[in-house]
């Protein structure tokens, strides 16, 4: 398949590379002029789209998604499948769908979970919104870039699932970090804390798979001086999206709001900038 890929950052570059390695003809564009092995460079977003059977975007925010999609739908080939893998607000995702629909293009919103490691290994999870026929077309590409793709519903449903999932993640990571901090203060060994919590009612992804305590559990960013697997400022972005969605939908998400405020303080003035979101434990430990 001929694929145009727009947005070759930390996530987009390995995703595009995996598609090229699988034998697809990939043309990519990024305003930073990034070069990706196996991906032919284009000099503009429009140049990456013309003549393609599918177009994938991985962009920083909703405003950019709207602007890029407004441009690319004008030059995309008739029937080209447009897939946006960015994590943005639900309204922007739906606006991108509307732009594609008006141009006669099938489209999907398909944000991902799995971080840069998952992008490189091709083990991402895709949460997908859009029509069933479009999902069936896109699944062959999702199967190359990831290990799982869930069709969550109509336009915007993928973003809704991503926002809700990451609100759970942000809340649970804070809970795990506070529990380890309390265990430290009570003189409880961290390994003992992990051995109990990871196999009882405290069990969750934030402790079992991505433990914030260095040297405990499977290897995680905590074992690499909290260099980001999933950056704290990206968690803040997702929690802000969850609260915007909650306000728009009239949903009561008090813990989500409190988690957003904690990460806002952590990133803004608490030493979280450029660190993994699990470094909340390091901040608590240092006071």
Catalytic residues: 162
Pairing of strands 107-109, 112-113: unpaired
Distance CA 196, CA 198 (A): 6
Question: Could you give the 3-state DSSP secondary structure of residue 189?
Answer: coil
Name residue, tokens 């003189």: 187
Strand residue runs (E) in the chain = 2-6, 25-29, 40-41, 54-57, 81-84, 107-109, 112-113, 124-130, 146-153
Distance CA 286, CA 103 (A): 55
Name residue, tokens 């083990």: 123
How many helices (DSSP H) and strands (DSSP E) are in the chain? Answer: 12, 9
């Amino acid at each position: 398949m001929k694929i145009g890929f727009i947005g070759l950052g930390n996530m987009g570059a390995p995703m595009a590379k995996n598609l090229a390695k699988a034998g697809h003809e990939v043309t990519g564009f990024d305003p930073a002029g990034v070069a990706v092995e196996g991906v032919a460079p284009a000099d503009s977003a429009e140049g990456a789209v013309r003549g393609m059977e599918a177009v994938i975007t991985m962009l920083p925010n909703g405003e950019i998604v709207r602007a890029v999609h407004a441009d690319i739908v004008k030059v995309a080939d008739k029937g080209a499948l447009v897939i946006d893998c960015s994590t943005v607000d639900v309204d922007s995702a739906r606006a991108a769908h509307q732009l594609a629909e008006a141009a006669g293009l099938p489209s999907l919103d398909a944000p991902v979970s799995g971080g840069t490691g998952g992008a490189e290994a091709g083990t991402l999870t895709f949460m997908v919104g859009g029509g069933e026929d479009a999902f069936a077309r896109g699944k062959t590409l999702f199967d190359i870039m990831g290990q799982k793709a869930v069709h969550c519903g109509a336009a915007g449903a993928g973003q809704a699932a991503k926002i809700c999932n990451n609100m759970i993640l942000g809340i649970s990571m804070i809970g795990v970090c506070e529990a380890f901090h309390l265990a430290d203060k009570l003189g409880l060994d961290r390994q003992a804390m992990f051995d109990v919590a990871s196999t009882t009612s405290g069990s969750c992804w934030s402790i079992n798979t991505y433990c914030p305590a260095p040297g405990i559990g499977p290897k995680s960013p905590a074992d690499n001086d909290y260099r980001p697997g999933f950056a704290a400022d990206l968690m803040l972005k997702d929690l802000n999206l969850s609260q915007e969605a909650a306000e728009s939908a009239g949903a009561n998400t008090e813990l989500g709001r409190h988690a957003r405020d904690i990460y806002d303080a952590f990133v803004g003035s608490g030493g979280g900038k450029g660190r993994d979101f699990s470094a909340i434990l390091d901040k608590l430990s240092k006071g």
